[in-house]
Amino acid sequence: MNNSLPARTLEVKNLSVKIHTSHNIIQAVNDVSFNLQEGKTLAIVGESGSGKSILCKSILRLLPKSAVVAKESRILFNGYDDLSLLSQKEFNKIRGRNIAMIFQDPMSSLNPVMKVGKQIAESLLHHMGMNRKQAQKKVIGLMKSMGIAMPEQRFFQYPHQLSGGICQRVAIAIALACNPKLLIADEPTTALDVTVQAEILDLLAFRQSQKRMSMILITHDLGVAIGRADEIAVMYAGKIVEQAPAEELFSNIRMPYTRALMASIPRLDNPPHTTLACIDGQPPNLARPAKGCCFAPRCSRAQDKCIKEEPLLRPGIKKDHVFACWYPIGEAS
């Protein structure tokens, strides 16, 4: 490998996912490509139903049976050429060992009838060939480093006896047990108290810098993404509509959708009783995709061309800042 290029942990090429429902087919993810470098964080931002969760679940083969990944999709991971070519058995050696995931709701992602210690120990027993005693010791250490007080007692407790924040720490301990190279965090703080959110994100950032782990952070909060990620991809209607390094995106938004998202974040310096900006209209129906730009019906800058022709991702002045818009912000329309 060329030394001047940083190592790529993950390369996703032309990923498309269709979901078959009883009466139609939904194009949930539409031709998405991105790279993720070692030790970096990519934030995927989008509103509900934009396909960000499906995108990540398809990397770990966690999609429901009704979802079909397109044949031309390629997922290249660190050393393995193409994850989609692996058999289920081979894939299970990577899943949980090299790629791990944290889910949105910690209360429902932990098994209610199994002690949390055992749930953390499972992947150690399975992937690392540890015996029970070694695993228990390691788990208690892990729980301690996740900031869980009294890990020896917590080990034998059930999820319903723990708070949401502790549960999410347990979920993170599960994900990080085998020191994965890539962590996919699917809205890890959405179900938590605001005060706990920052702690969890700090914990993730700390562990990430310690282990040079790459991370995909899925969030609907552009503010979180800008603060925590190196690179941001904005998803809308199953497509990436803008992607740039975090500071570049923050200072130089090109896509009207991203600006609308940005405007809908409540700000501390807003005077009291300011009306919060929101995006008018509904997200598009993915069962019947529009011909032109999918954001056009909700876009204040839309013109005839936007409805007729679909804009493709293209770089602007800076090469690493791409966006899919005919009339981007900052260019005369």
Does 128 contact other proteins by CB under 8 A? no
Residue 69 CB, nearest approach to other proteins (Å)? 16
Among positions 86, 110, 176, 229, the unique one binding other proteins when judged by CB under 8 A: 110
- DSSP tag of 42: E
d(CA 278, CA 260): 7
Among 13, 97, 259, 301, binds other proteins (CB under 8 A): 97
96 binds other proteins (CB under 8 A): yes
x/- string (CB under 8 A) for other proteins, residues 50-69? -------x--xxx--x----
In the complex with other proteins, the residue whose CB is nearer, 115 or 301, is: 115
Instruction: Examine residue 286 and tell whether it contacts other proteins (CB under 8 A).
Output: no
Told to check if 165 binds other proteins by CB under 8 A, we report no
* 23 Cβ contact partners less than 8 Å away, ≥ 6 residues apart: none
- How far apart CA 82 and CA 73 sit, in angstroms, is 10
Give 2's contacts (C-beta < 8 A, 6+ positions apart).
none
- Is residue 239 part of the contact set for other proteins (CB under 8 A)? no
* Token duo for residue 204: 């993730």
* Residue that has been written with the tokens 């009291």 in this structure: 272
Run of H or E residues at 68: strand 67-69
114 near other proteins (CB under 8 A): yes
Residue 103 in contact with other proteins, rule: CB under 8 A: yes
Burial class (CB in 10 A: 0-12, 13-18, 19+), 221: middle
272 binds other proteins (CB under 8 A): no
In this chain, which of 26, 54, 94, 218 binds other proteins, going by CB under 8 A? 94
Other C-beta atoms within 10 Å of 122: how many?
A: 17
Q: Which of 14, 24, 111, 209 binds other proteins (CB under 8 A)?
A: 111
How many chain residues interact with other proteins (CB under 8 A)?
Answer: 34
The candidate with the shortest Cα–Cα distance to 96, out of 29, 173, 168, 33, is 173
Work out the widest C-alpha separation in the chain, in whole angstroms: 68
Residues forming contacts to other proteins in the complex (CB under 8 A) are: 57, 60-62, 65, 88, 91-97, 100-101, 103, 105, 108-114, 122-123, 126-127, 158, 160-161, 171, 174-175
